Amino acid sequence: MWKQVDENFWKENRESKIDEVTAAVQDIIDLVRFEGDKALFDLALKFDKAVLKDLEVSRDEIEEAYENVDPVLLDELENAAEFIQRFHELQVPEDLWLKEIEPGITLGVKSTPLERVGCYIPGGRAPYASTALMCIIPARVAGVGEVICCTPPSVDPVTLVAMDIAGADEIYKVGGAQAIAAMALGTESIERVQKIVGPGNVYVTAAKTMLRKNVEIDFPAGPSEIGVLADETADAEFIAADIIAQAEHDPSSACLLVATDAGLPGEVWSYIEKQMAGALRREIITSALKNSGYIVEEDIELAAEIMNGIAPEHLSIQVRDPLEVLSRTTNAGSIFIGPYSPVAAGDYASGTNHVLPTAGHAATMSGLNVGHFRKTSTVQILSRDGLAAIAPTIIAISEAEGFHAHAESVRIRGQKKE
């Protein structure tokens, strides 16, 4: 039986173990910094037991991967890619907008895509073709000039095909912290990028965090999480299925049920036991459930506040009035409402992004979106009369701050004869 916990339990049990791996990750970063490609070949042999001839995936390797992917699966990957593209196209801002807010004062914003970004696509316990789509497609929609990918060797054919469908320009057989270091610092074969996105294990997350002085990142994205907020109207079998689905990702995944009905956790657990009996990744699920638990809070408003404090990566709302709870929800990576909105829909095919902040970072950070791949510049266009209208304000404040040259730069314009 899973355990009843308080609202601090999950936070305490999912706190990053980055400190434990910092020294090891720093050693990897230093190797890549000073040895470049040689370090990547050596680390591939050490960690992945892979003897590589080349770091970059060739076009021939990509074509061979297509031959090894079931045509039906290929069609479904393309279907998923279409949904993901359609959703992210809705997020694209105007390249430039200008508005005259007062006579002679026109302000605006210019939005520009990044030139080169790196996507980390995990490997290891499972192929992550869906993550390839989720990382690359928004970058392409945003207008990024070059999108590269790093993924551990040997690259799964389905993942390789997904990276190609999504539009990756370069794909490298490099995984782990060394991949992050290579993209952040550059090597003989891998040109450095401006920003790195994508989820990974604690070593990947640590490397992203430690290299932020060299490269921008999206956010910490570690093992999967789900928080379920449910009342007596919820379907316990569906909740159990969603919990098992997220638990099968990783032994460090975490699942939490906040229930207003005291009998619901036991009912959900009964279904978890039944569904686990036939689960192919039962060992991983069992480990993940050790990081999991439930909270009973009869007041729905307090239950929603508890979930806001937890800020889960995925939030499933299974209550009588879900839109009321949604209005109270402030902290969640991605939200799934109602019995027929499984988290798996967002993981694969609805079109929303599944690269999301974990470990409470959803309280301050957004899931991967087109905005992560663009930057903005403010624009101002002032006429002589427009400047004259705000000149007293500029002069008064700048002189109060002791910046007299600022004030003079305005006065000199006002004194200039046309």
In whole angstroms, give the CA distance from residue 264 to residue 114: 48
Tokens of 302: 């307090």
Of 379, 377, 375, 395, nearest in space to 387 by CA: 395
Three-class secondary structure of residue 378 per DSSP: strand
Residue 160 sits in the same domain as residue 197: yes
CATH number of domain containing 349: 3.40.50.1980
Residue 196 sits in the same domain as residue 49: yes
Of 372, 336, 331, 374, nearest in space to 355 by CA: 372
Inside any domain, residue 132: yes
Inside any domain, residue 108: no
Residue 194 sits in the same domain as residue 73: yes
pLDDT digits (tens, 9 = 90+) for 313-357: 999 999 999 999 999 999 999 999 999 999 999 999 999 999 999
In whole angstroms, give the CA distance from residue 114 to residue 203: 26
Give the pLDDT of residue 16. Answer: 59
CA distances from 62 to 160, 326, 341 (A): 7, 43, 34
Inside any domain, residue 4: no
In whole angstroms, give the CA distance from residue 342 to residue 237: 12
- String of DSSP letters for 380-395: EEE-HHHHHHHHHHHH
Tokens of 357: 């902040």
Residue 275 sits in the same domain as residue 337: yes
Q: Which residues are catalytic?
A: 313-314
In whole angstroms, give the CA distance from residue 307 to residue 29: 37
Residue 92 sits in the same domain as residue 153: yes
Give the pLDDT of residue 15. Answer: 59
Q: Divide the 418 residues of the chain into consecutive groups of 10 and give the mean pLDDT of each group.
A: 81 70 97 98 96 97 98 98 98 98 98 98 88 98 98 96 98 98 98 97 94 96 93 98 95 94 97 94 94 95 97 97 97 98 98 95 97 98 98 98 98 90
Last residue of a domain, one of 170, 196, 217: 217
Of 29, 80, 104, nearest in space to 380 by CA: 104
HSE on the CB side for 96, CA within 13 Å?
5
Phi, psi angle pair for 351, to nearest 5°: 120, -20
Tokens of 212: 């932020």
142: enclosing H helix or E strand: helix 129-142
Residues found in the chain: 418
Please name the amino acid found at residue 61: E
Cβ(253)–Cβ(356) below 8 Å = no
Residue 195 sits in the same domain as residue 49: yes
CA distances from 114 to 168, 189, 267 (A): 15, 21, 49
Give the pLDDT of residue 255. Answer: 95
Residue 174 sits in the same domain as residue 51: yes
Residue 241 sits in the same domain as residue 354: yes
Inside any domain, residue 408: yes
C-alpha dihedral, 183 to 186 to 188 to 189, nearest 10°: 20
Residue written as tokens 């301050």? 364
Give the pLDDT of residue 210. Answer: 96
Domains identified in the chain, total number: 3
Inside any domain, residue 89: yes
Name the residue range of residue 329's domain. 223-366
Inside any domain, residue 254: yes
In whole angstroms, give the CA distance from residue 328 to residue 305: 8
Residue written as tokens 């297509």? 66
Inside any domain, residue 102: no
HSE on the CB side for 53, CA within 13 Å?
3
Last residue of a domain, one of 194, 217, 240: 217
Residue 134 sits in the same domain as residue 179: yes
- String of DSSP letters for 46-89: HHH----S-SBPPHHHHHHHHHTS-HHHHHHHHHHHHHHHHHHH
Residue 192 sits in the same domain as residue 318: no
Residue 411 sits in the same domain as residue 308: no
What pairing do the DSSP bridges indicate for beta strands 96-102 and 146-150? unpaired
Inside any domain, residue 109: no
Last residue of a domain, one of 170, 186, 217: 217
Give the pLDDT of residue 13. Answer: 62
Residue 276 sits in the same domain as residue 309: yes
C-alpha dihedral, 140 to 144 to 146 to 151, nearest 10°: -60
**pTM above the 0.85 mark?**
yes
Give the pLDDT of residue 20. Answer: 87
Cβ(204)–Cβ(180) below 8 Å = yes
